[in-house]
């Protein structure tokens, strides 16, 4: 279409002509002397253009410098509802609502004086006004044609009512979708909060059960001994001492449980410093009593960087892990300790070939008072997890029944931001 109108512009510059696009009849042409062949070619082009204009879906209007409509194609009649006689010779602002109706003459005058463009050569969305007064959205593109005699403006207008309706519908659908997404997100968040609360209560119930178990058994023993001492007719000194010793021992058990839980709840803030990881692990291995049927392998590179953690708290983590590994291999096995750099951490792996754990047990190892052992309060891994969190460390657990357990402990490298 652009190339076609460029051809039309060249013809206008070469010929002085006028034609009515409403009827698509060329009224007159002027033949350039000595160029009959060229005139025939131009007439052919005009016939082609007339056909294009007659069948064009877009409205095409030509106005002069004062804004007077000189030509309008059939699509213009259909779009605005005016007949050719009602449009030709009238100012084009008849097709515009306020404020463009009042300002259009000023647009033209200002452009011809200053060259300041608002639509010409740019194109934009405007509002059209039909004969019945109804308004509708348009896309308007304007080009300028200048001949030796005068200046004309060609406007091409496309009705974008359906496009705007589709955009509005899409906007409404997006708004509805956004509302649904927000509502579903809110529902999901509420469900998650409820799940967290339920899990909190479930965990609290399990912890309470653990505390009750740790305290109830010693209390029962104390109660039994106290009953004996209160009701025995002539207890022997040896029997009396036996029951008093039992009471003292069970009170110590209760005190230890309460103290351990209190220590877990009030774990002090870490005092981080640089630590030689290899030296620390070697020292812990030396202190930990491992049976002779457990083989230990260490895989530490000499280039390991120093780590950043509390030098009193971190050893507790590895002591607990080594004890758990030992207890998981009652019939012996292998214990492998290795370390690698995964900046900004050093990752220490403690892997045993013990009995392993099913998923439902593995996910509860950090719960206070949870234990699968016959002895012990089940606070070791709870303390381990608390220490790691306070020291900005991470723990990853993998376990499979019959194949063993592996802990990856990620510890910050000294001097690196995290």
Question: What number of other Cβ atoms are within 10 A of residue 73's Cβ?
Answer: 26
Determine the pLDDT at residue 114. 80
Could you tell me the CA-to-CA distances from 80 to 30, 72, 137 in Å, in that order?
33, 11, 12
Q: What is the pTM of this model?
A: 0.45
Question: Does the structure show a pLDDT above 90 at 129?
Answer: yes
Question: Does the structure show a pLDDT above 70 at 274?
Answer: yes
Question: Does the structure show a pLDDT above 50 at 202?
Answer: yes
- Could you give the CA distance from residue 164 to residue 138 in angstroms, rounded to a whole number? 10
What is the number of alpha carbons within 13 Å of residue 313 lying toward its C-beta?
Answer: 24
DSSP string, 167-194: HHHHHHHHHHHHHHHHHHHHHHHHHHHH
CATH superfamily entry for domain 2-159: PAS domain (3.30.450.20)
Please give the CATH architecture assigned to the domain spanning 272-412. 2-Layer Sandwich (3.30)
Question: Does the structure show a pLDDT above 60 at 146?
Answer: yes
Name beta bridge partners: 409: 348, 395
Q: What is the arithmetic mean of pLDDT over 103-124?
A: 78
Nearest 5°: phi and psi at 323? -65, -40
Block residue for tokens 């009193």: 312
Question: Does the structure show a pLDDT above 50 at 20?
Answer: no
| Residues near 331 by beta carbon (within 8 Å), at least 6 away in sequence | 293
Q: Quick one: fold of 166-265? A: Helix Hairpins (1.10.287)
**SS3 for 54?**
helix
| Between residues 255 and 199, the one the model is more confident about | 255
Question: Do the beta carbons of residue 410 and residue 291 sit within 8 Å?
Answer: no
Question: Given the DSSP bridges, would you call strands 333-342 and 294-299 parallel, antiparallel or unpaired?
Answer: parallel
Helix 2-14 vs helix 36-55: crossing angle, to nearest 10: 140
Which residues in 284-315 are b (16+ Cβ under 10 Å) and which e? bbeebeeeeebeeeeebeeebbebbbbeebbb
Domain with CATH 1.10.287.130 in the chain: 166-265
- pLDDT confidence of 348, banded at 50, 70, 90? very high
Model confidence pLDDT, tens digit, residues 388-408 = 999 999 999 999 999 999 999
Name beta bridge partners: 347: 340, 410
Question: Does the structure show a pLDDT above 60 at 133?
Answer: yes
- pLDDT confidence of 2, banded at 50, 70, 90? very low
Nearest 5°: phi and psi at 335? -125, 120
Highest mean pLDDT among 145-154, 195-204, 361-370, 382-391: 382-391
Domain with CATH 3.30.450.20 in the chain: 2-159
- Could you give the CA distance from residue 233 to residue 299 in angstroms, rounded to a whole number? 66
Question: Does the structure show a pLDDT above 50 at 309?
Answer: yes
Name beta bridge partners: 351: 336, 406
Determine the pLDDT at residue 130. 96
Domain with CATH 3.30.565.10 in the chain: 272-412
Exposed/middle/buried for residue 166 (C-beta within 10 Å: 0-12, 13-18, 19+): exposed
Question: Do the beta carbons of residue 239 and residue 232 sit within 8 Å?
Answer: yes
- Could you give the CA distance from residue 86 to residue 65 in angstroms, rounded to a whole number? 19
User: Of 230, 231, 224, 213, which is closest to residue 246 (Cα–Cα)?
Assistant: 224
Question: Do the beta carbons of residue 275 and residue 306 sit within 8 Å?
Answer: yes
């Amino acid at each position: 279409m652009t190339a076609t109108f460029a051809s039309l512009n060249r013809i206008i510059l070469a010929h002085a002509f006028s034609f009515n696009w409403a009827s698509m009849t060329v009224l007159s042409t002027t033949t350039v002397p000595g160029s009959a062949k060229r005139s025939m070619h131009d007439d052919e082009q005009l016939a082609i253009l007339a056909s294009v204009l007659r069948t064009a879906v877009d409205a095409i209007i030509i106005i002069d410098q004062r804004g007077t409509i000189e030509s309008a194609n059939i699509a213009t009649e259909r779009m605005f509802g005016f007949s050719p006689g009602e449009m030709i010779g009238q100012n084009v602002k008849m097709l515009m609502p306020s404020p463009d109706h009042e300002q259009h003459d000023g647009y033209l005058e200002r452009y011809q004086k200053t060259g300041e463009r608002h639509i010409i050569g740019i194109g934009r969305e405007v509002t059209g006004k039909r004969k019945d007064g109804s308004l509708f959205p348009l896309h308007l593109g304007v080009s300028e044609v200048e001949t030796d005699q005068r200046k004309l403006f060609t406007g091409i207008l496309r009705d974008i009512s359906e496009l705007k309706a589709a955009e509005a519908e899409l906007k409404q659908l997006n708004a509805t979708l956004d509302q649904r997404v927000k509502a579903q997100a809110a529902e999901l968040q509420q469900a998650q909060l409820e799940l967290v609360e339920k899990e909190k209560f479930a965990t609290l119930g399990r912890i309470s059960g653990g505390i009750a178990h740790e305290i109830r058994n010693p209390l029962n023993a104390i109660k039994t001994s106290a009953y004996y001492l209160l009701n025995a007719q002539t207890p022997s000194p040896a029997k009396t001492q036996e029951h008093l010793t039992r009471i003292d021992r069970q009170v110590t058990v209760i005190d230890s449980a309460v103290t351990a839980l209190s220590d877990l709840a009030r774990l002090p803030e870490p005092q981080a410093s640089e630590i030689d990881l290899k030296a620390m692990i070697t020292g812990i291995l030396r202190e930990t009593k491992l049976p002779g049927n457990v083989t230990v392998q260490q895989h530490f590179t000499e280039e390991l960087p120093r780590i950043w953690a509390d030098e009193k708290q971190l050893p507790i983590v590895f002591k607990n892990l080594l004890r758990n590994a030992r207890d998981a291999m009652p019939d012996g096995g292998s214990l492998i300790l290795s370390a690698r750099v995964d900046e900004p951490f050093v990752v220490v792996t403690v892997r045993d070939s013990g009995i392993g754990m099913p998923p439902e047990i593995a996910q509860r190892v950090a719960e206070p008072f949870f234990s699968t052992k016959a002895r012990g309060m089940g606070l070791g891994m709870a303390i381990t997890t608390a220490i790691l969190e306070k020291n900005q460390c991470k723990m990853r657990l993998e376990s499979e029944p019959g194949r063993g357990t592996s802990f990856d402990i990620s510890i910050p490298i000294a001097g690196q931001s995290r």
